[in-house]
Amino acid sequence: MKRAFCVLVPLFQDTKFTVSTMAKLTDFKEWKFRSSPSYAELPIDENPQYNEPVAVKNAVFSKVPTEPLTGKLHLVCVSEEALSDILDLDPKVAETEEFVNFLAGKYLPEGGLTVSHRYGGYQFGFWADQLGDGRAHILGEYVNSKGECWQPQLKGSGETPYSRFGDGRAVLRSSVREMVASEACHHLGVPTTRAAGLVVSDDHKVWRDKTYSGMARQERAAIVMRVARAWYRLGSFEILLKRKEPQLAQTLADFIIKHHFPHIDMNDADKYVKWFSEVAHTNLDMVATWQGVGFTHGVLNTDNISVLGDTIDYGPYGFMDHYYEHYVPNSSDDMGRYAFNKQPEILVWNLGKFAEALDPILSEEDKAKIKAGIATLPEYVNNQVLKTYLAKLGLKEIQDGASSFIKDLLDMMQSTSADFTCTFRQLAELDVTKLSDTAALEAKWSLNKVCKAKGWLKWVHKYTDRLQKENVSEESRRQRMSKVNPLYVPRNWMLQEAIADADNNDFHKVRLLLKIFKEPYSVNKEAEMLGYSSQPPSWSYGLKLSCSS
Ligand code: AMP
Ligand code: MG
């Protein structure tokens, strides 16, 4: 048995250059949560009754036990990095019965306190009232060897006071999608909740109507263990506004600032203004990273937006194949409210609702400052997105005409159905002087589409000009670009294939995806053999997902 410890080895005199040599815990029975989680300071409904839908009052959490997954269990996959870097666990523990039981909600390590969080939300623009963790349990809090505090949470772990008419469960397909996307997003530089592991039962079945066609069928229940610094959402405050609980809103805001925004002075008269501004800007920085990797969340309701600026709740999301600005992966989003190109403005709309929810705890002066701050957000996010695209082209400066320069490229990609991910990647692979060379372009399947657009040569000319003005050498252009333009993203068709195998208890592909997305910028032989950076198969064209999960 080894105990986790941390040795800081100075490499140079400068103490900034240190490495952490860790021995990870190999015996999971030794692993414990901190003795009392910070959230125990907040009001918790200690004895909730939930035989029928209930409106929870005067509490931020409800104390609820998990309902373990029954039947024969399979460990589908784990994230080795989440286990070792976040939870200080040797990934070998994943093979132990205790660990699988931990994922299945059967075993709660010492210090655990299982709670479900109360929140509300605006769904598709309309107030949906109380939502809450209807199938999720936060298990406890773990302070790791780096001093970071993390909250493991099970999703699919049984009914809670927030289940409404749901069964508290999650199925394998949506759990695989959440597991792979959260880990991939982390490696793609997208701020996100993480996923540590996934377990499925052979025998525990639930009814789901996967396509909302009226044809429900039985599917196997699964549980994914997600990990985040905390799970508060914009909707955590909205429910307190609607239920007229301003005192609790203030308690929660002060708690979150104290624990998660410690650089904000609790005695600062502007603390709420500063906090709002930080919540807003981190969320807008996050959405700019989505635009950069072609990620469309699919369900940007205010209950799915974290106060900490992490991507949260992966459902019917999609990483775009061919570029289409109105891309909508969610089959229920008929109006395209959450289309790819709408995401930045939707985040701003959501933040407006967040400001409304804080209203009862703000002074008149705070309100005026926040109002003025909100007015600056559209321009801020547009700039962040613009900078993201410029970086994808190896550029840094926002020179005159930068927006239309980017728009011209995207328009050409759209009109030629060029692939979002591969166009940028292939621009990094080809020498800039070859961008007008037909033979060189033919060797790059996505560039070979976009170069057929009418304005291509003119655009290449402008691009070359901009590179020269910024004094970017060809070597540094390509170096910069290959660090921000991935070769691989978790496209829905890859996930569908991995899920089909997982349905037959063959988990190789799910595990392979996790391995590939650890290094999405590097060529991977297996990924190449499977065509993961090639033109997507025709059967995947127009693939959409429902919210059924
Ligand atoms: P989502 O679309 O996954 O963000 O979920 C929206 C709301 O529905 C949240 O309050 C979830 O907890 C709840 N929910 C979704 N599926 C279930 C389920 N099977 N059982 C109980 N609650 C659910
Ligand atoms: Mg949600």
pLDDT at 484 over 90: yes
Q: Whose CA is closest to atom 13 on ligand 1?
A: 134
Helix axes 402-415, 456-469, angle to 10 degrees: 150
Which of 54, 117, 135, 159 gets mutated to test ligand 1 (max ligand atoms within 8 A of its CB)?
A: 135
State the closest ligand 1 atom to the C-alpha of 206, by its place in the atom list counted from 1. Answer: 19
522-546 residues labelled b (16+ CB within 10 A) or e (exposed): eebeebeebebbeebeeeeeebebb
Mean pLDDT of the chain: 95
Q: How far apart are CA 500 and CA 540, in angstroms?
A: 14
228-249 pLDDT, tens digit per residue, is 999 999 999 999 999 999 999 9
> In this structure, are residues 76 and 222 in contact, taking their beta carbons and an 8 Å threshold?
yes
DSSP per-residue codes, 442-476: HTSTTHHHHTTSTTHHHHHHHHHHHHHHTT--HHH
333-388 pLDDT, tens digit per residue, is 999 999 999 999 999 999 999 999 999 999 999 999 999 999 999 999 999 999 99
Give the chain's count of helices (H) and strands (E).
17, 16
Tell me how far apart the 2 most distant CA atoms of the chain are, in Å: 71
Q: What is the pTM of this model?
A: 0.95
- Best CA proximity match to 465, nearest among 412, 385, 382, 401: 401
Confidence of residue 52 (pLDDT cuts 50, 70, 90): confident
pLDDT at 44 over 70: yes
Quick one: three-class SS letters along 135-165? Answer: CEEECCCEECCCCCEEEEEEECCCCCCCCCC
List 85, 88, 303, 310, catalytic entry: 303
Q: How far apart are CA 286 and CA 305, in angstroms?
A: 11
| pLDDT mean over 447-471 | 97
| pLDDT mean over 433-454 | 97
Name residue 201's beta-bridge partners: 73
What pLDDT score was predicted for residue 22?
A: 65
How far is C-alpha 124 from the chain's CA centre?
19
What pLDDT score was predicted for residue 411?
A: 98
Q: Is 310 left (phi over 0), alpha (psi -120 to 50) or beta?
A: beta
Q: What percent of the chain has pLDDT over 70?
A: 96
pLDDT at 9 over 60: no
401-421 pLDDT, tens digit per residue, is 999 999 999 999 999 999 999
Give yes or no: 167 in active site.
no
373-396 residues labelled b (16+ CB within 10 A) or e (exposed): bbeebeebbbebbbbbbbbbbbbe
Domain locations in the chain as residue ranges: 19-231, 247-390, 397-484
Q: What percent of the chain has pLDDT over 90?
A: 94
Q: How far apart are CA 374 and CA 73, in angstroms?
A: 49
66-86 pLDDT, tens digit per residue, is 999 999 999 999 999 999 999
Q: How far apart are CA 8 and CA 196, in angstroms?
A: 25
Ion ligand 2: residues, Cβ under 5 Å? 304, 313
Q: Whose CA is closest to atom 16 on ligand 1?
A: 166
- Only one residue has tokens 């508290």, namely 168
Give residue 426 CA to ligand 1 midpoint distance, Å: 40
Give residue 538 CA to ligand 2 midpoint distance, Å: 31
CA atoms lying within 13 Å on the CB side of residue 165: 1
Which of 127, 163, 208 gets mutated to test ligand 1 (max ligand atoms within 8 A of its CB)?
A: 163
Count of CB atoms within 10 A of residue 139's CB? 24
382-399 pLDDT, tens digit per residue, is 999 999 999 999 999 888
> In this structure, are residues 318 and 492 in contact, taking their beta carbons and an 8 Å threshold?
yes
Q: Which residues line ligand 1 (CB under 6 A)?
A: 131-135, 162-163, 166-169, 299, 304, 313, 315, 547
| pLDDT mean over 417-430 | 98
Confidence of residue 51 (pLDDT cuts 50, 70, 90): confident
pLDDT at 109 over 60: yes
> In this structure, are residues 296 and 339 in contact, taking their beta carbons and an 8 Å threshold?
yes
Confidence of residue 281 (pLDDT cuts 50, 70, 90): very high
170-171 and 295-296: which strand pairing? Answer: unpaired
Q: Which ligand is nearest to the CA of 174?
A: 1
Q: Which long-range contacts does 14-17 make (Cβ < 8 Å, 24+ apart)?
A: none
